[in-house]
Amino acid sequence: MTVEIPDVKKNWPHTINAVTIGATSAEGGTRTSTVTIGGETTLPFYHFEGTMPNKPVVAMEVWDIPAEDWPDTVREPFADVLADPGAWAKACVETFGAELICLRLKGCDPNGADRSPDEAAAAAKQVAEAVGVPLIVWGCGNDDKDNEVFPVVAEALSGENCLLGTITEDNYKTLTALGTAYGHKLIAESPVDINMAKQVNILALDVGFPSENIVIYPSTGALGYGLEYVYSIMERLRIAGLKGDKVVAMPMLCDIGIEVWSIKEAKAPEDEVPGWGDVKARGPMWEASTATAYLLAGADVLIMRHPEAVRITKETISRLMGGGA
């Protein structure tokens, strides 16, 4: 007896925008490579149903100041370079295979080192000169300070086609103007809410910033800390985009490392949590597991920290894209 399996393939009417980050010398920049994300015509890794012309990519995180509050497990691979953003970025690319670098301007936080816009721009140029991969530049999270810092940093990286972040309802005007003036793409941040995600994008579009230059950041939660809720929002965003809602038909980014390495499951020593296993294995696996879940939700860019988590995740991407081990 044979059983016929019905043809349940879905043909989606719209395509997710493709976004290219980085600019080579021929394009007015100095990058030796560029990265294109998005362009999907189907749900994540449904190769039987549509196309994923561009694989998800992994960016590794670098700070403009030494990451003193990172757990030892994730600091150890970078122990010799944490004080030098350029050397740190170079290690991420040349030793650990990062496809992009995410420079987080943590040192500009007015509640921390309160570094100046010029110091931030110097760190950005240092990283840009050290590596040839495309750059993501993430502010300190204080809107007032970021509005002071980003004009100087965006100009310093003019023509490099970086991905700057993040724009929110409160600060979108500054960054959209800078993206237009200096040729950068933008990360649109929203607090785990599909309507808020649409609203931030609409605000950017209303001031003339192209939808093709926006990447959605719907917030990120570590495994065990709200991941399921974020996952559901990402699914809804992707399905809406594929159905034809152009306001959300954009690639998505997840900020993995900062979330995972702040939770006890990833960083608590075994003597504090008996039975949880070696933290040097547990932490990277928690980061890789979180990243894998978001890949299945539709993430196009993953920002990560630990080299072993990066290795596992890149191998997972290769397998999911049909490339084997």
Full DSSP string of 54-99? S--EEEEEEESS--TTS-HHHHGGGTTTTT-HHHHHHHHHHTT--S
Residue 314 CA, chain-centre distance (Å), reads 14
* Closest to 259 in 3D by CA, of 66, 37, 135, 74: 74
**C-alpha–C-alpha distance, residues 227 and 258, integer Å:** 14
CB 52 within 8 A of CB 16: no
Is CATH 3.20.20.20 the right assignment for the domain spanning 19-320?
yes
Global pTM reads: 0.96
**What are the pLDDT tens digits along the chain (325 aa)?**
566 655 678 899 999 999 999 999 999 999 999 999 999 999 999 999 999 999 999 999 999 999 999 999 999 999 999 999 999 999 999 999 999 999 999 999 999 999 999 999 999 999 999 999 999 999 999 999 999 999 999 999 999 999 999 999 888 999 999 999 999 999 999 999 999 999 999 999 999 999 999 999 999 999 999 999 999 999 999 999 999 999 999 999 999 999 999 999 999 999 999 999 999 999 999 999 999 999 999 999 999 999 999 999 999 999 999 975 4
**C-alpha–C-alpha distance, residues 51 and 80, integer Å:** 42
Residue at 17: amino acid letter: N
